[in-house]
Chains A and B, each alone.
Chain A
Amino acid sequence: MTRLHRRRFLELSTALGAGTLLSNTVGARSPQGKTKRVILVAFAGGVRTRETLGTPANVPNLVRMAQEGVAYTRVRAANLGHFGSSLSIFTGISEARGIRENARGEDPTLFEYVRKDLGLAAGDVWISTSGGPQQANYSHSLHPDYGERYGANTLDGDGIFNAEFKGILDAYGKPRLLGARETQLLDTMRGAIASEGSAGVNDAETLAKVEQYILDELSKGTVDLRGTGAADAKALRVARNLLAVFRPTLLGVVLQQADIAHGSYNAYVEVIRRNDTMLGELWAAVTSDPELADSTSIFVLPEFGRDSDLNSRRGLDHGDGSDDLRHVSLVAWGPDFARGRKVLEEVRTIDVCPTICGLLDADAASARGKRLPRLFG
């Protein structure tokens, strides 16, 4: 079937009063349509509702966000391993991936949908991660219609912004600034080399911006974040700084360190509390900026929960199939959303992708989730 251009389709639908005919993956824009940017925080690593909305003292910022937004308390997740379950949030499809599989998926992610449909540069779509090389695979899929050219810039704060790496760079000094003529010569020589490589995620202009951003960020306080949960804290700090520098249309954050729960329940709670503090910092960066405050929506959810009972090490695994494991909570906050609404009906983690795509006017063509119900005010 020939695909109608999205905007034309929406115009037709509105004119005909046929909003209800829209598919699950098309046209989730609210009547107000204020949302121009979305931040999606995968509060991942396996986090139960019991330790978040179930214990408000652990997550005061998340609770406030829920009070000012919409809280879905029955969000069904599949325990497909951390990698597959987080990927499912981004693709809107249950992704059975190996736990230690270090490869890209076949299904397009919301980052690709948004970049392609909105014609965005790579600097407009970012993912800030904390889980090392595996999470760089969230950037894009291998789907022939999407893939690398529509990928998100993905950056693992702990891998780059750490004191040891900074120390190594410092030992080499600083790269020399290139003059205009030298840059021109460089471009001429590069352009003369017969190309066999791929184009990559970034164009030349964005590459230069990202290079400068990395050098700048290395001199900021992100490097000094240490202790339990530091990698997650860095991911949220980097997200805040990316917001200030690039003002991306779509910004994903993927946390991971709550998985310390396997060995220690107390450390798990400590990570959750620290992440909530850093989430509060990110949220404050949005609300204190008049432009961002009126145009940014935020979604926060784990990829799955954890077991009901402690293991022999006084930790929490994730494999008992319990309700604590299979159902998590989702908080949505933004200028278009209802305030203080609690939604009890069951939704799924894979519903987030089509919902965000709808908000930003992109088409999550392959996603199997549905738009979240009762989201708008």
Chain B
Amino acid sequence: MPALASLQRWLFRLAPDEQLPIVLGQRRIFIVPTRAGILFAVVLMVMLIGAINYNLSLGHALIFLLAGLGIVAMVHTFHNLFGLCLTPGRVPAVFAGDLAHFPLQLENTRRQTRRALEFSFAGQATSSVDLPAEGRASVAVSFATQRRGRLDPGRVTLATRYPLGLFRAWSYLHPRWSCIVYPRPIRTALPAPSPTMHADHLHGDNGQEDFAGLRPRQLSDPTRHIAWKAVARRSDEQPHLVKQFAGGAAEELWLAWSLTASESGPEERLSILTGWVLSADEEQARYGLKLPGKQLAVGQGEAHRASCLQALALHGENGEAPESSRQA
């Protein structure tokens, strides 16, 4: 059925949106009566028969006014979407099983409030939002993730029934966005740290145990090392001080695929590794990650944690090209 598919593609614009912001023109807004709208039409027909039978002139007027109202409601429902500007935002990574939030910035250039805009991915929960007149709002469209990887959620349906609920206008948004879904972490005890492999590694410099004085804070320093008492004594203008530690075993922790129980499945092993990364990060350990075919050098901090988790998320995928809706 290639003809039907291409018709659908043409009719519903299944291709991803390339131009940003997405502006909803009449070409991509669809509108059909809702069940309530059909009920309304049936009620009007029955009323018309009654009005003819009993010769009720005012009854005719009532029915005609309601019919007009139905037509006007259609226009208003359409206009509730028409001309809406949407800009997709950056999608924060989540763990499998959590809700991924796909943010959209909405801009309304009209003088009327746009109400009850409902966003949803196919088969997912709906988020609804009111957009003030000549204003902006943001909405996060949620997607319940199930498995790790790069999540392409497909298109978003933006629908509205406002004002009277007799019609449903909708549009498909298909921004090129994807979400990194980390494996669901399984928390187990960390493997034993291995002795330092590199002889030239500086011992005692950046340890965690012994307090070794204060120094101005750099952006990479974790907040829990800030010397709040010292900060409180100083004026606002000066940079915060952080406590410096020395000594202790600045051991290197290698979180390796080979250390996980080999009887578990590959996904479970990735989950265990994810749990280790989280635990190691919480313990402020310096850790590296060894996966089949990939190795991340020992490191520490937010960025290191993120790159480790991403490596785990995309393990086995050819990292670049997002696969289409592998979650659904």
Are A and B genuine complex partners? no
Show the binding face of B for A, using Cβ within 8 Å.
none
Show the binding face of A for B, using Cβ within 8 Å.
none
